[in-house]
Chains A and B, each alone.
Chain A
Amino acid sequence: MRLVGRPIPRVEDARILRGRATYLDDIEPPGTLHAGFVRSPYPHARVLRVDMSDALSDPRVIAGYTSLPGPPMAPGGKVRFQGEAVAMLVAVDRYALADALERVVVDYEPLPHVVDPAKALEEGAPLLHEENGSNVAHTARYGSPDAAGAAAPRVLEGELRVQRVVPAAMEPRGVVAAYDGHTLTVWSSTQVPYDVRKEVAGALGLPLSRVRAVQPDVGGAFGSKLIVYPEEVWVAAAAYLLGRPVKWVATRSEDFRATTHGRDMGLAFRVGFDGSGRVRSLWGRITCDVGAYHWGEGLSDIAARMLTGPYDIREAGVEVVDVYTNKTPLGAYRGAGRPEATFFVERIMDMVADELGLDPVEVRRANLVRGLPYTNPFGMTYDTGDYTGTLEAALSRLGYYELLRWADEEWARGRLVGVGLSIYVEVTTFGFETAIVRAEPDGSFTVVTGTTPHGQGVATGIAQIVADELEVPLESVRVVWGDTALVQDGIGTMGSRSITAGGSAALLAARRLREGLKAAAEQLLGSPVQYSGGRFWGPNGEAQIGDVVRAIYRGRASGPLEAYEVYNARSTYPFGVHVAVVEVDPETGHVRPVLYRSYDDAGEIVNPLLAEGQIHGGVLQGVGQALYEEAVYDGEGNLITANLALYGVPTFAEAPRYEVRFAERPHRSEHPTGTKGVGEIGAIAATPAVVRAVEHAVRRVRPGARATSTPLTPEKVWMMLRP
């Protein structure tokens, strides 16, 4: 029986549920020293002097550095955000380290700072990177330059904003490095061990073969661990120079400042439409606050190029401006550009509908792309799907109109509830991915995937795919990952690509291995053979696949024991419709997410249990974006929501009930797995659905109310409700 498509519980769980998973902080080679960083309290300052002598006089302190191989600390003698590293100490234990860090004296000359991207673009604004001549980090234009002035019967202009959030994976970042005289091993809580290896080897002038990067169990990432951070290189360099293992694990407060933030984009738009709600033109200007360094390249470009969403808007143009400010650098966060694009275009659709007094679904239906593949005005080619058909199916499966009627009834009873709908198309998957499928002497198979899962359940999904291809039981397939000693290259888990790119690579490797084993079986049996269910057979007899493998191991037959596959995966585009229901307290403005329903056409679903889990988690992050979370900087450049007590990660009590469905007849991607990716859907679709649900409720009391920025804090909702 085929395993793909079945809700199989995870094979990864055993060690996690026994408390035996190994996260970065669980790795501590004998003699490990502990590194920590002196970090700037100022958002922008010149570093005049770093005096570590007092700290270094403590015998528990082994070393102090203001520079190490790798990126410069305080480049150009400046710090550009609160929390930027100025110096690194190495001590015998973490308590001694914490004591010593307090004894480092740094003389700063505070410089004028800027945390507002609009102000950062003004003439005379403090410059973060003087050599750049301005605070503009990047600009781009996509689509038609004429869209801004396009004529249309009706025109609406406005501004929308998606706030800055903190990814806040439950495991903070950390790195351990140990040098044995030949190999420098770097364990890192990362999504990109291959990049870690390259960066560390490059910084130390070592050949790649002398650096091994290991990704242990990673306690969540959501994109925030997909760049190589300076700390990873510095800690590795210190271990190499000192010849002793060195470890750094960020405290949560440190992680809030030193790990990339997400989103933080504004859109100024002008939309032209007709009386039926058909959008004739869309012009937008995206301003993205990238923080102090441009680590999050491409985020605003993705947002721009997906700005028309699933709608066929022929006349469309977008300008992009990435702006430096004195904040933590921006990076990828679950969805990385698509949540912003979806929020923008879905808000615009709702506004057009409200302007015309039309059903928001009506307006969307009038504009949906018909006929796929479809290339949008920015060159993105949506591959497969039936958007209008899926919308109609979704409306009935989700009970959208029934929910609206229920909301009316509740209102008649005095309870204020709102229902919001969002539609999205998003882009997943890119680049090459690697897989090795190896036959083991005991007849089992090991899959080494180049992807770097960290909670998604990719190992279970790939095991299902490979077990199906080899026609062996799931238990016969073990999936491993995250170690450059196991696989030389790969990209990793990000962009909802793991099952599609990594799974396809594994599927093709398994297929090739199976063909090679078949040839070996033919040698052994002396005739052409057929294969099924783990058994080769021909006119002269039969052999279990394990027997064939053992024969190769012992030289009694020749054939491959493993297959190495590199698969190049083009992007693919899931599509879906989501509905959120919230209850609003009209007196306090408090919003309670009540129910969340989704209907997604994401291609083949390898494991519905795990796919649903991805939707649940993504949705709650989207709910957090809509209602609770924000990285708030005050006028002095202080991050004031700088830990989990002050920052609003939703708890059990805030989470809605989820009802997740996938399309009964999904549209496959072109990839061997037929999948499209589900990892980011929730985070992409939920924010606009929840925001509309709140607005829907508020508009009963204040018909003209309009939500244009997130988060919709209770106070903001209360303001919207006021006369």
Chain B
Amino acid sequence: MRVGLRVNGTFHEVDVEPRALLVHVLRGLGYRSVRVGCDTATCGACTVLIDGRPAKSCNLLAVQVDGAEIVTAEHADGLLERLRKSFNAHHAAQCGYCTSGMLMAAYALLSRRERPSEDEVREHMAGVLCRCTGYQNIVRAVVEA
């Protein structure tokens, strides 16, 4: 099936099997920041923004989001740059495998809420798992981004 996706502002039209997961299609298009860490929609490493909302791209078929506007961690804009600086300053990434998902979850939160509290950050981002950092530095990075 033909599917059209606008990813970080670039329009792609791709031929996909109906069963293809969005995460695989995005990775196939070269958006490798979108990562697979589980098979149960638990870990959130594949989190992207779809039409402004955070979603797990492993838990959607690409055909379901035909025509969607998608943002991945490769994107460059002011908010993401702020988050990147803050993640670096607060040592919020270790192995980095979850980091794209963390950035996207944080991006979604800060897009609709300027100054979230620590509790809001924890609640909003709990759908992304990290095994390295113990989370605190990520929380700080988002609160102080």
Contacts and interface: CB of A to CB of B under 8 A. Distances in A.
Nearest to A655: B135
A610 interface: yes
B131 to A, nearest CB: 5
B89 A170 contact: no
Contacts of B51: none
Nearest to A189: B97
Nearest to B98: A170
A658 B94 contact: no
A617 B122 CA distance: 16
A217 B42 CA distance: 22
B134 A253 contact: no
Interface string A600-629: 000000000110110011111100000000
A619 B127 CA distance: 20
Interface in A417-470: 454-457
B57 interface: no
A617 B84 contact: no
Contacts of B39: 251-253, 643
A464 B44 CA distance: 34
Contact of A454 (B20, B74, B95, B129): B95
Interface in A452-497: 454-457
A651 interface: yes
B83 to A, nearest CB: 8
Contacts of B134: 613, 616-620, 655, 658, 682
A19 B95 contact: no
B115 to A, nearest CB: 18
B123 to A, nearest CB: 7
Contact of B95 (A20, A219, A251, A682): A219
B38 interface: yes
A171 B135 contact: no
B91 A9 contact: yes
A172 B37 CA distance: 7
A171 B97 contact: yes
Contact of A217 (B38, B72, B96): B96
A12 B37 CA distance: 21
Interface string A1-32: 00000000110111011111111011000000
Interface string A640-660: 000111100101110101100
B137 to A, nearest CB: 6
A169 interface: yes
Contacts of B40: 252-253, 643-646
Interface string B94-114: 111111100100000000000
A17 B95 contact: no
B73 interface: yes
A26 B137 CA distance: 27
23 contacts: A13-B96, A17-B88, A18-B73, A95-B20, A169-B97, A170-B43, A171-B97, A218-B95, A220-B95, A222-B131, A252-B37, A252-B39, A252-B43, A613-B137, A643-B40, A643-B42, A644-B37, A645-B42, A649-B129, A651-B129, A651-B135, A652-B121, A652-B139
- Give the top 7 A-B pairs by smallest Cβ distance, nearest first: A19-B33, A219-B97, A455-B95, A616-B134, A16-B96, A19-B73, A455-B94
Given A13-B87, A644-B40, A655-B135, 6 more contacts: A23-B97, A172-B37, A252-B38, A455-B132, A620-B135, A644-B42
